Structure 1
């Protein structure tokens, strides 16, 4: 079992971004020292929180992360041209020594899509076509592509990836059609762990495996990541008392977007079913249930808006000391 953290670089606009980033870099360095396996960056545009862009963030994290995998969790691929992303991630792959993962999704915020002049109905077709183009460009061969959005003639990227065939591609998806797309086009489905529906994960894992088998792709020996929210304290009540006010503030901020309004309305369900606020023993039990479903890479946001950096790091230390041994 692998464990990674989300570098949740989203902050109120009226606070010092420089101070927040310094604290974040310290937290990531702590995670690397503790033996965490991966760190992931966020992508949003015109956000209600100050959100530095993920490619720049990865560049800043490469020298601070030791041997950790570094990826986007997730990049809003329809907002970018695939040649740009193929070049950027081939470069990052070289700079990191082959430690980069391209995690992608289609996006959901109306203001982001409108800013780039993207018809929301086209975003999944753009995602499909972009992934096909990126993989072909990473092959090193000249590419001719007669596509709906990204036609190319005799195209070849200027930087070849260090990893043969290019970095792994993970696809974030929530709906049934999107999960099947992730099975066909990605190396992993980056599963969202915040559905309050207890049947969501087993049903969609089955769909994912079914589609992989249909197109002749393996279902064994592959990465099965899931994104969660975790806070660890000596007792579960302490974890709730310390973590819940910050998680509530963060989710209320997300709920300002119409597509996520449900998260505020159903926050108590999220707390009960998906926010892992607990003692090491409680977290071992809950993560064990995810392992039994088949997940093998737990990626979590270790803190929320307003949480002091030392609280975040103490949670990471306790989790590494007490929870890691149960799964390694």
Structure 2
């Protein structure tokens, strides 16, 4: 399948928080080797030191020219959507139209608790928040009287360069897949397999027919933990710290990772392509000192295998 896009992602910095200059270096190298985009995981309350991703995007925007940027994913219910609309419209302006929005209901309930949001409300808040973002990015003098948010005569300027930002939605449950069809522009799961991806893609197509809003199969991408190494045993030892604390047994997470020699990694990605996936976000599962070599290998060993 032609048109495969590959980006890079970063998460909780489980191996230690890199310097700001290092993060910029990752983005610059990703752009130089031909990667499509950079994605940053959003967390407010964490066990490890982490950074506000809107600040990081502003920094990266000033150091790159082509690389698209997006959260993977933004916990929208933990924030007021008016503030989010303003922040990401500003980031789109300073990046000259390179922002993509991806939102979710929040995988870490501590973020919601710290923001005063009952977990039971997160789904409805997400729905309402998405609708508000769309209106504020496309309309002026917006008044909204909803269940959770109320405001009058709000205008966000400048608006996104392309008229709005695409809104991708993360997650895999049926409720989330229906939300993607009802409210989203794309689907962005993580920790999934090619078989699960195909199954859920078929559900999206079916839900699209049900809701009268057809889903475009090309507007779906997957985030994958990745480590390229000819020494398979060492590679898995490197990845192990990231597998702990995830919401499934380590062996199930491992089955959903792209780890091992480059040729095997290409084969695993090809299985996703055959399942209908054309967009990938590869998250380097390694200490900071190994990130740059991993990015180099994405450019020299992964991208050429999927060149149109």
Task: Give the TM-score, by structure 1 length.
Answer: 0.86
Question: How far apart are residue 296 of structure 1 and its match?
Answer: 0.7
Note the alpha carbon deviations across 1:96-123, whole angstroms, 9 max, x for none: 1110011111113232221111111100
Name 1:188's counterpart in structure 2: 186
Q: What does residue range 1-328 of structure 1 map to in structure 2 within 5 Å? A: 1-8=4-11, 10-11=13-14, 17=17, 19-164=18-163, 166-192=164-190, 194-195=191-192, 199-220=195-216, 222-233=218-229, 235=230, 238=231, 240-252=232-244, 255=245, 260=246, 262-263=247-248, 266-271=249-254, 273-304=255-286, 307-309=287-289, 311-328=290-307
Question: How far apart are residue 92 of structure 1 and its match?
Answer: 0.9
Distance in 2 (alpha carbons) for counterparts of 1:93 and 1:109: 27
Question: How far apart are residue 183 of structure 1 and its match?
Answer: 2.0
Structure 2: stretches of 5+ with no match in the other structure: none
Q: How many residues align?
A: 304
Note the alpha carbon deviations across 1:236-268, whole angstroms, 9 max, x for none: xx1x3333223211232xx1xxxx4x43xx212
Question: How far apart are residue 308 of structure 1 and its match?
Answer: 4.2
Task: Give the TM-score, by structure 2 length.
Answer: 0.92
Structure 1: stretches of 5+ with no match in the other structure: none
Distance in 1 (alpha carbons) for counterparts of 2:264 and 2:170: 27
Distance in 2 (alpha carbons) for counterparts of 1:248 and 1:169: 32
Distance in 2 (alpha carbons) for counterparts of 1:323 and 1:5: 12
> RCO higher in 1 or 2 (8 Å CA, sep ≥ 6)?
2
Structure 1 segments, 4+ long, off by >6 Å, are none
Note the alpha carbon deviations across 1:141-164, whole angstroms, 9 max, x for none: 322222000122222224322221
Question: How far apart are residue 81 of structure 1 and its match?
Answer: 0.7
